[in-house]
Amino acid sequence: MNGSRSRTPLLPLARALLSHYRRHPLQLLALAVMIVLATMLWTGVNHLTSQARASLNQSEQAVAERQQVLRDDGRDLVVDDFVSLRLAGVCVMPWLEVTPETGNRLVGVDPLAAHCFGAGTGASQVLDQPLDGKPFVDMHTAATIDALESRLYLLTPEITQAADLPDGYHLKTFSVSPDTGELGDSFLLNLEALGVLVLLITALLLRSVYLLGLAQRRDSFALLHRFGVPPGHVQSWLLLEILSLALVCVVPGVWLGRWLAAGLGGGFGQALDGLFDIPLYAGQGQGWITPVLVMLAVVLVACLGDLLLLRFRELFSLPVPARSGLATVLLVAGLAMAFLAPSLLWVFVAVALVFAGAGWLTPVAVAYVAHWRADRMAEPLTRWRYRELAVLARRLTLPLVALQFALAMVLAIQALVTTFEDTFDRWLGQRLEAAYYIEVPAGADGNKAAQSLTGQQESVPGLQWHRVKRGQAQLADVGNASGLQVDVFAVAPVGSLIRQWALLEAVDQPWKALASGQGVMVNEQLARRQKIEVGDSLLLTLGEQSGMLPVLGIYPDYGRPVGEVLLNSETLPDGFVIRFESFSVTPGELEIGSITGALKQLWGVEALAIRDNGTIRELATGVFDQTFALTRAMTLLTLILAASALLMMGWVFFSTRAWYFRLLEVWGMSQRQVAGQLLRLALLLTGGIAILALPLGVWLTWVLVHRINPLAFGWSLPMAVYPAFWLQLAVLSLAIGLSISVLMGRQLGKPAATPVSANAVVGGER
């Protein structure tokens, strides 16, 4: 016998084990489809986020703030200026930005001119990339493009001093990227978290379907053992079987995921470019090996975790009271840790503990409530229905928990996305309240423009404006920070264009106090990091002058990593260094051309840098809509995956109990009445899961907006819930239950063999 066991024929063994899938082809199809779809979803999200991460890093190097050369007379730079500076021995590199009719920005650079910058600089790192039009191209190519807009910059290394320049030129800091890098990181963090949840839900679904097949094959395994096949051979074959299936499905899934990323890449790249001024560089995504290995690991752990961790199986096979107690401890510990966690890592650990505890408690809670309700029901059918619900909760644990997690994830992502949309729409409306933004040219006198606009405001209805001065200040005696450098955002007059800003906290009549120069406001980042509250006094050094200024309010400033103070520019001392100056103007009944024409004449320049804020807001709103449509599509696909798995599992499980439900007909009920009982039972099951998913989803929303964002980026979003979306999820859950009952009703019309004993098949307990 031992010899025969050691020489088990492989082909007959393979045919015997694979015969299960000949009898149940839908299970094999379900496993394959789940692996392919999950791989496609995760690969698509991962490929997009890895591309975006690389683009963020490269863009920070490529467009980080550095020096540029400008003409003293305010005229635009031309090629002759570049030639003159190089002949004078100044190291400059031309940077020509062009916007073709396609709208995708290109940057023309000269690799030879950048050599004087030296190795390791941002410019040289940019030029290490192939100039393939994504987005860097050769200067000549950029100059010959029929562009809607173009602008030439002349960059110079940081070591260049003003004294190195010939007469007629001066230096100024240069950056083509706004301060929204952390906003981009926040967006990508949400997508990466979605990818992790996709993996978790996929693992639960795969495990549920695979364990169903193992349970149905238990008698076959016992029969093979009686014929001399050692258990080790069966386990080895199961490992080879699932590994082969994973390889067959993961590779096309990765290909589909990259195809999905390529299809969504245009909109995603436009989102990055429009929101964060960061183009999505081609060829920056991960290769094939990482997604294949990750998904293979997920499939193997999900399907064969018990075989891979055979020695530890008994450790996890705890009785129900012990498991419930452990799950409660995990849940409470996770909730407390999420509230008290000092860092982002501990928040993620807390989320994992809460999900583990909730997933463990869900079937136990459903079964307990079902038994509790059954004990209090006098009507026999109602009592039977609740007892049967407890059985279903135990037998369908994994797909039910997966659906709960998917519903909670979708609820949280929907709330987060909608909050993002509402918040940033209001914020953009505040920041772009003025119709136009006009930059003050270098060397121009802003006081003359302010006097001119003041005179016009008295005679032109609807004309509104304010002057913005930007610079830096030193903030002392804040916690342990001594000499902390902060940005200064100085405005005058403090009029209607800025008084509409929403404040997180403020004193009474804060704008009136700011207009009279009685204090300052600080952004949320500075307030959170330095624990500043309204009413505190700050020792602020502006130029050579220092003074104690009370905090009048705290305002949201999404996406900027640095601290900022807002004050009345009329209170700035004469020695304050203005790094940037502009005017925000709403012309009212005047044409903007008449205002800019007067300013050109007043400043003696031929061109002004003007921004149409209405167009920018329209573009930003469209990009936000496209960006969040991508996120919603990913969450919807994940929810469909979970719902389909529960539908299939519920149908298969109900089918195994068809003989049991047919006993209701023996007891005198019609087939229509039995179908009605099954409908109630299925709706109870899926409706109960939707109810249990609701608090988990609300809690996850709170964690995202009040814990993860503040710890990671220093700013938070307002907490908002959307009951109308809860109703949509509830309807979806009930639709799943209705579908299961309809399929089961059809199953009742087919003949089914009654098992020898009640426990001969899965779902046999009564």
Report which of 153, 91, 165 is spatially closest to residue 124, judged by C-alpha positions: 91
pLDDT at 29 over 70: yes
Rounded average pLDDT over 328-351: 90
- The average pLDDT across 610-618 equals 73
pLDDT of residue 272: 47
For residue 521, the model assigns a pLDDT of 96
Q: Tell me the per-residue pLDDT of 580-599, one tens digit each, with 9 for 90 and over.
A: 899 989 988 888 888 888 88
- State how far the Cα of 269 lies from the Cα of 137, in Å rounded to an integer: 18
pLDDT of residue 699: 93
Lowest mean pLDDT among 92-106, 146-160, 384-398, 513-527: 92-106
- The burial of 559, by beta-carbon neighbours within 10 Å (0-12 exposed, 13-18 middle, 19 or more buried), is given as buried
Domain boundaries, the chain: 1-63+201-317, 64-176, 332-431+616-766, 432-615
Q: What is the pLDDT of residue 764?
A: 45
What six digits make up the tokens of 528?
A: 């959170």
Question: Could you give the maximum distance between any two Cα atoms of the chain, in Å?
Answer: 109
Binned at pLDDT 50, 70 and 90, residue 650 comes out as low
Using only the alpha carbons of the chain, give its radius of gyration: 33
SS3 category, 281? coil
Residue 480 has pLDDT above 90, yes or no: no
Token representation of residue 37: 């779809």
Q: What is the pLDDT of residue 271?
A: 45
Strands 106-109 and 136-138 turn out to be: parallel
Of 384-398, 504-518, 594-608, which has the strongest mean pLDDT?
504-518
Q: What is the mean pLDDT of residues 532-550?
A: 90
Q: Give the per-residue pLDDT at 137.
A: 74
Give the confidence band of 574 by pLDDT, cuts at 50, 70, 90.
confident
Q: Which residue has the higher pLDDT, 50 or 586?
A: 586
689 backbone φψ class: left, alpha, beta (φ>0; ψ -120 to 50): alpha
pLDDT at 468: 92
Choose from 464-473, 647-656, 657-666 the range with maximum mean pLDDT: 464-473
Is the predicted pLDDT of residue 103 greater than 70, yes or no?
A: no
Residue % of the chain over a pLDDT of 70: 73
What pLDDT is stored for residue 439 in this prediction? 87
Q: What rounded mean pLDDT belongs to the chain?
A: 76
Burial 424-460 (b: 16+ CB within 10 A, else e): beebbeebbbbbbbbebbeebebeebbeebeebbeeb
Given this model, what pLDDT does residue 761 score?
40
Q: What is the DSSP letter of 440?
A: P
Q: How confident is the model at residue 254 (pLDDT cuts 50, 70, 90)?
A: confident
- In this prediction, residue 550 carries a pLDDT of 94
Q: Which long-range contacts (CB under 8 A, 24 or more apart) does 494-501 make?
A: 494/466, 494/568, 495/464, 495/465, 495/466, 496/464, 497/433, 497/434, 497/464, 497/465, 497/466, 497/584, 497/586, 498/433, 498/466, 500/430, 500/433, 501/430, 501/555
User: Which pLDDT score, from 0 to 100, does residue 759 have?
Assistant: 39
- pLDDT of res. 287: 62
Is residue 3 very low, low, confident or very high in pLDDT (cuts 50, 70, 90)? very low
Q: What is the pLDDT of residue 751?
A: 57
Residues in Cβ contact with 317 at an 8 Å cutoff, skipping those fewer than 6 apart: none
Better-predicted residue by pLDDT, 175 or 118: 118
- Under the banding of pLDDT at 50, 70 and 90, the label for residue 130 is very low
Lowest-pLDDT choice from 347-361, 459-473, 744-758 = 744-758
The residue that leads in pLDDT, 704 or 554, is 554
Read off the pTM.
0.66
* Confidence class for position 567, pLDDT limits 50, 70, 90: very high
- pLDDT, tens digit (0-9, with 9 covering 90-100), for 697-756: 999 889 888 888 787 766 777 777 788 888 888 888 888 888 878 877 776 766 554 444
Q: Are 558 and 502 in contact (CB under 8 A)?
A: no
CB 463 within 8 A of CB 586: yes
For residue 417, CA distances in Å to 684, 713, 722 come to: 30, 17, 11
* Tens of pLDDT, residues 145-191: 776 667 788 888 777 777 788 888 888 765 444 344 455 565 566 66
Q: DSSP for 682-702?
A: HHHHHHHHHHHHHHHHHHHHH
Predicted pLDDT of residue 17: 78
Residue 187: per-residue pLDDT: 57
Q: Give me the mean pLDDT over the 13-41 stretch.
A: 78
Over residues 202-251, the pLDDT tens digits come to 777 777 777 777 777 777 888 887 878 787 778 788 888 888 888 888 88
Mean pLDDT across 620-636: 62
- Taking the alpha carbons of 160, 162, 168, 171 in that order, is the dihedral positive or negative? positive
Query: Which range (50-59, 275-284, 365-374, 489-498) has the least confidence?
Result: 275-284
Flag whether pLDDT at 348 surpasses 90. no
What pLDDT, on the 0 to 100 scale, is given for residue 332?
A: 94
Residue 762: which residues within 8 A CB-CB, separation 6 or more? 212, 215, 216, 395, 653, 656
Lowest mean pLDDT among 192-201, 368-377, 383-392: 192-201
